[in-house]
Amino acid sequence: MSTPPRDRQRQSEEELAREREPGPDREGGPDRKERPQDRDGGDQVVGHESSRGDELTARPSLVQGSLPRWGPQAVFAGVTAVVAGALLLIGFNIALLLLASVVLSGVAIYSWARVVEGRRKATDRAVTLAVASAFALALAPLVSLLFTVASRGLGRFDAQLFTETMRGVLGEGGGIAHAIIGTLIITGVATAASVPIGIMAAIYLHEYGKGRLKRALTFFVDVMTGIPSIVAGLFAYALFVLFFGPGIRLGVMGSVALSLLMIPIVVRSTEEMLRIVPNHLREAAYALGVPKWRTIVKVVLPTSFAGIVSGVMIAVARIIGETAPLLITTGVFSSINTNPFDGRMQNLAVFAYNEYANPGVPNEPYIDRAWAAALTLLLIVMVLFLVARLISARYGVKTR
């Protein structure tokens, strides 16, 4: 404690030096003396350091028998370079390059490690490479998709796109203003309906629920997250057709379908957030004589507010890109319609699909608009997703 810093440093340096040398000092006297016995006695000896001692006498250096630290990376880089060179001769193909270099360097690393380190460590290294390249391979579609949408969508990503509608447009020109407005209204109505139900159900599950109803609700909310979106659309259609007759298309039908998809997501995420509100906050409120409902409203919900908001935003990001249920409930429409209870309503995802599926002649302007709508949609989803992550990271309840 009282030694001045420099002394302490020197001391630790000495210790390090002592650790580095593999001599008898470090092993300690008794172990060393027992060692010959170990070899003779075989199984009967009960020394836990005995086998390690054996290895040490057989191998003078501790670092022998393992690949250098840079080994696998160097092999991978080298193999990739060679494969790239070979491919340049026979015709370049990025997929083939990645595939070949992963497989070949896997074989190379395995054989090298097998010779130097033995079978078990060689397998370990091969698995490490396989697992890492699986991750990299999974990112390939994401990168390709983002690149494609950005490069093809930017062609029509102009002011006209956001200010005009498709009313009377044949061929070039036109915009998606009506689809953006429709998307916002349909999603907004769905959110307004789902968030109160979802949050209250989560409060029931975590704060009040017990017995059979709680178990059933937990189970069926989980099951509901797996309902196919097209079935949600069919449900909305089947519901409204009873009252309005066949062929009905309304903006609010789309909202009903989306609510069915959104509610379970909101319940799930809100319940997670309520769960991480520390219990002593609730108990402190009860100790002050605050009724349970005021505790929930004034203590529990404000504490988990950021988490709930980010959960809702992720739920919105999930449903805003839904196509199938809206295709069969809100239909296709080329002008602005701001009344969800009156007639067809366009939305971004359906617009993108419809421009692709039913183009005019020539089809280039239609396909370009489809990509521009897809890019807009993707940007909205990404922004929602990232902002939600930021909110929960910055303002969320600190769990530890």
Partner 1 sequence: MSTTTTKEPGAVRRRSPRRLGDAIFSGVATGAGVTILVLLAGVAIFLLIEAWPAISAPAEELPGGEGLVDFILPLAFGTVLAAVIALMLAVPFAIAIALYITHYAPRRLAQGMGYLIDLLAAVPSVVYGLWGIFVLAPASFGILKWLEENLGFLPFFTGPASSTGRTMLVVGVVLAVMILPIITAVTREVFLQTPRGHKEAALALGATRWEMIRMAVLPFGRSAMISGSMLGLGRALGETMAVTIILSVSGAVTFNLISSGNPATIAANIALDFPESSGIAVNALIAAGLVLFGITLVVNMAARAVINRRREFSGAG
Cα dihedral sign for 33, 39, 45, 49?
Answer: positive
Pick out residues in 333-392 that bind partner 1 (CB under 8 A).
349, 352-353, 356-357, 370-371, 374, 377-378, 381-382, 385, 389
Contacts of 13 (CB under 8 A, 6+ apart): none
Query: What is the identity of the amino acid at 301?
Result: L
Distance CA 227, CA 221 (A): 10
Instruction: Return the number of the residue (6 or 69) whose C-beta is nearest partner 1.
Output: 69
**Alpha-carbon dihedral of residues 362, 365, 368, 373, nearest 10 degrees?**
-130
**Alpha-carbon gap, residue 35 to 276, rounded angstroms:** 55
d(CA 260, CA 351): 22
The interface with partner 1 within residues 188-217 (CB under 8 A) comprises 196-198, 200-201, 203-205, 207-209, 213, 216-217
Contact in structure between 277 and 363 (CB atoms under 8 Å): no
Binding residues for partner 1, total number by CB under 8 A: 94
How far are the Cα atoms of 72, 232, 294, 365 from residue 253, in angstroms, in the given order?
57, 10, 36, 30
Q: Which is nearer to partner 1, 7 or 92 (CB)?
A: 92
Q: How far is the CB of 30 from partner 1 (least distance, A)?
A: 23
141 in contact with partner 1 (CB under 8 A): yes
Task: Give me the least distance between CB of 108 and partner 1, in Å please.
Answer: 18
AA identity, residue 124:
D
When the beta carbons of 76 and 237 are compared against partner 1, the nearer one is 237
User: Residue 137 Cβ, how far from partner 1 at the closest point, in Å?
Assistant: 7
In the complex, the smallest distance separating the C-beta of residue 153 from partner 1, rounded to whole angstroms, is: 10
User: The tokens of 59 are what?
Assistant: 């191998």
Binding letters toward partner 1, positions 80-99, x by CB under 8 A? ---------------x----
Give the x/- contact pattern for partner 1 in 145-184, rule: CB under 8 A: x--xx--x--------------------------------
Of residues 290-329, those binding partner 1 (CB under 8 A): 291-294, 296-297, 317-318, 320-324, 327-328
**Closest distance to partner 1 from the beta carbon of 317 (Å):** 6
Separation CA 231–CA 234 (nearest Å): 5
**Short-list 129, 45, 37, 127, CA closest to 80:** 129
In whole angstroms, give the CA distance from residue 227 to residue 224. Answer: 5
Instruction: Give the x/- contact pattern for partner 1 in 108-137, rule: CB under 8 A.
Output: ------------xx-xx--xx-xxx-xx-x
Which residues, 6 or more positions from 23, have their beta carbon under 8 angstroms from its beta carbon?
A: none
Nearer to partner 1, 282 or 318 (CB): 318
What string marks each residue from 13 to 52 as x (binds partner 1 by CB under 8 A) or -? ----------------------------------------
What type of residue sits at position 106? G
Q: Which of residues 213-272 bind partner 1 (CB under 8 A)?
A: 213, 216-217, 219-232, 234-235, 237-239, 241-242, 246-247, 260, 263-264, 267
Output 4 or 226, the one with its CB closest to partner 1. Answer: 226
Is the alpha carbon torsion for 153, 159, 165, 167 positive or negative?
negative
Tell me the closest approach of the beta carbon of residue 17 to partner 1, in angstroms. Answer: 28
Rounded CA-CA distance 71/128 in Å is: 13
